[in-house]
Amino acid sequence: NTMRTLLSLLLTLCLLQLLAVTHSVDGLRSASASTLAALPQQQSFSARIVGGNEAALGDWPGIVSIQNRFGFPFCSGSIIDDRWVLTAGSCLSGLRAPNLLLLAGTTASWNLSAVGYYADKIYVHCNYDKPLYHNDIALIHLTTDVEYNDYIKKLPLAALDELQLQEPLNFAGWGAVEEEGSISVPLMQASGSYLDVPACRRALGNTENVDEGHVCVQLPQGQGMCYSDAGAPLINAQGQLVGIGNWGVPCGRGFPDVYSRVAFYHDWIRSTINGYALG
């Protein structure tokens, strides 16, 4: 009976791991079929390692690894207030808050000694995916206050839309480091430049899936977001959060990556937080 119980437990854990990995593959939303069909075909579509370098502890104190209760990571988020984490709606749609675990103050997505926080509320934008790839933003309310230190800090929001063409922007995440690969254990970071909406649309085959609610980042071919980078923070030189990982053409194929524009959703973020406080 004891052996049968252990085998049953091991089988359950294996099934849970498979489910978690399946969820993680959806952690970056790929461009729609119509967008992919319109892209220039001279680009290289071979699977390759996504460029970037490993982040050091303390480089990204505002980032959290969003995981299920069993410790399987599938998205990233940003601490923006004592009990609030900002991420992508695509990360949380259909999930229950009590099933989440958020790791902070770590560069490793698998870290048993990292500080963990639990959630009691999820707020996905009411117009999420209406239309496709729009309003892809969500808030997580934590059960306890974040304890700040040198490695855990909140990220200030970019309240004003003041991005300039070719402005350098930085992002980080635990997404896959190659197109056919699994998620990264170390936190990876890379830099790109801001691309305005008209230029971004042209680069993505004149897609309608980019508007003023998005921030586009151009990187060299071989660098960029990949699977499970949804919700990852994009910051400017002042350390302000300007974007949340949304969608793209995985992985590092030379096309712009698309983020939800934080300044565009600033009122929604603040009204949601204030609404919770009012009960």
Q: Do domains 63-154+266-278 and 155-263 have the same CATH topology?
A: yes
In whole angstroms, what is the distance from residue 195 CA to residue 132 CA? 21
Of residues 177 and 150, the one with the higher pLDDT is 150
User: Domain ranges in the chain?
Assistant: 63-154+266-278, 155-263
Percentages (nearest 5) of helix, strand, coil residues in the chain:
20, 30, 45
* Least confident among 15-19, 52-56, 128-132: 15-19
- Fold of the CATH domain 63-154+266-278: Thrombin, subunit H (2.40.10)
Give the pLDDT score at 25. Answer: 37
Residue 157 has pLDDT above 60, yes or no: yes
Of residues 175 and 80, the one with the higher pLDDT is 80
- What is the average per-residue pLDDT within 137-165? 95
Q: Which CATH architecture has domain 155-263?
A: Beta Barrel (2.40)
* Residues 220/264, Cβ–Cβ less than 8 Å: no
* Residues 226/76, Cβ–Cβ less than 8 Å: no
In whole angstroms, what is the distance from residue 195 CA to residue 220 CA? 13
- What is the average per-residue pLDDT within 119-137? 95
Residue 42 has pLDDT above 90, yes or no: no
Task: Please give the share of the chain, as a percent, with pLDDT higher than 70.
Answer: 81
Give the pLDDT score at 50. Answer: 62
Segment 181-209, tens digit of pLDDT: 677 789 999 999 999 999 999 999 999 99
Residue 21 has pLDDT above 50, yes or no: no
Residue 239 banded pLDDT, cuts 50, 70, 90: very high
Residue 5 has pLDDT above 50, yes or no: no
- What is the average per-residue pLDDT within 162-185? 86
Give the pLDDT score at 34. Answer: 56
User: Is cis: bond before 131, omega within 30 of 0?
Assistant: yes
Give the pLDDT score at 30. Answer: 57
Q: How many CB atoms lie within 10 A of CB 75?
A: 32
Give the pLDDT score at 43. Answer: 40
Burial class from Cβ neighbours inside 10 Å (0-12, 13-18, 19+) for residue 112 reads exposed
DSSP conformation class of 246: E
